[in-house]
């Protein structure tokens, strides 16, 4: 679902800046934002802007605070947008300030991306209509409600929109995006620098690989926490 050779490239000219806007909000999953940004911030010329409807600290679902230094309107033309997910994206997906900003910036972005249920926020903004996309396995059915075509893949690219299924696919997506922006050698160098070499102790990272009782347990936990849909 992801071809490296076909996309536009940024960052090759000496001194060129790549503005990357990360949308954050209360309740987000911190790793959805921090993982990809650890990769993308290493791109030549990267300028990362943490943005929110209102500047200030945003508390993640694990209690970690990330700080938005910029209001949405202060970053009107980013080259790349990243929308992380949350256990419950309804507050962000229902915020007209967020949706209006996404619609506006998507007109001029080179890449518009999401991780996990961040895809549902893109969907609420109408950005995924008619496009193939992925999201957290527990929220795949919700994608179709926004006119998207759900695909059970770790990373899905449709044109200049790239969606990733969850935390580790978010890092995969960022590395593939790094290759589109600056070439495969740069992407591989970043991967080596962060020593991203996954070797999980269990094959339980997807509902197709995990034992049935583990899947059932995870579904119950997701339901108790908050439905990861809008």
List residues with catalytic annotation.
Answer: 116
First vs last C-alpha separation in the chain: 26
CB crowding 68-94: b at 16 or more within 10 Å, else e: beeebeebeebbbbbbbbbbbbbebbe
CB burial class (10 A; 0-12, 13-18, 19+) of residue 56? exposed
With beta carbons less than 8 A apart as the criterion, state whether 130 and 147 touch. yes
**Three-state SS sequence of 177-194:** HHHHHHCHHHHHHHHHHC
Residue 86 carries which DSSP code? B
Beta bridge partners of 80: 20, 111
CA 62 to chain centre: 18
With beta carbons less than 8 A apart as the criterion, state whether 166 and 115 touch. yes
Task: Give whole-number Cα distances, 217 to 76, 204, 205, 211, 223, in Å.
Answer: 42, 12, 13, 10, 10
């Amino acid at each position: 679902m992801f071809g490296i050779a076909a996309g536009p490239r940024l960052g090759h000219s000496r001194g060129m800046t790549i503005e990357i806007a990360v949308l954050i909000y209360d309740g987000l999953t911190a790793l959805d934002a921090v993982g990809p940004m650890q990769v993308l911030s290493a791109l030549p010329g990267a300028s990362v802007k943490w943005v929110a409807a209102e500047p200030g600290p945003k508390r993640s679902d694990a209690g970690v605070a990330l700080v938005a230094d910029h209001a949405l309107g202060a970053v009107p033309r980013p080259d790349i947008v990243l929308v992380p997910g949350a256990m419950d994206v309804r507050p962000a997906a229902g915020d007209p300030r967020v949706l209006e900003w996404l619609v506006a910036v998507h007109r001029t972005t080179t890449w518009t991306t999401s991780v996990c249920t961040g895809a549902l926020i893109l969907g609420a903004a109408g950005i995924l209509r008619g496009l193939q996309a992925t999201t957290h396995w527990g929220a795949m059915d919700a994608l179709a409600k926004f006119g998207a075509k759900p695909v059970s893949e770790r990373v899905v690219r449709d044109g200049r929109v790239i969606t990733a299924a969850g935390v580790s696919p978010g890092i995969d997506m960022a590395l593939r995006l790094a290759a589109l922006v600056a070439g495969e050698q740069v992407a591989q160098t970043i991967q080596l620098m962060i020593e991203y070499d996954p070797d999980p102790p269990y094959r339980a990272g997807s509902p197709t690989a995990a034992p049935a009782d583990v899947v059932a347990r995870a579904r119950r936990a997701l339901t108790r926490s908050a439905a990861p849909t809008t």
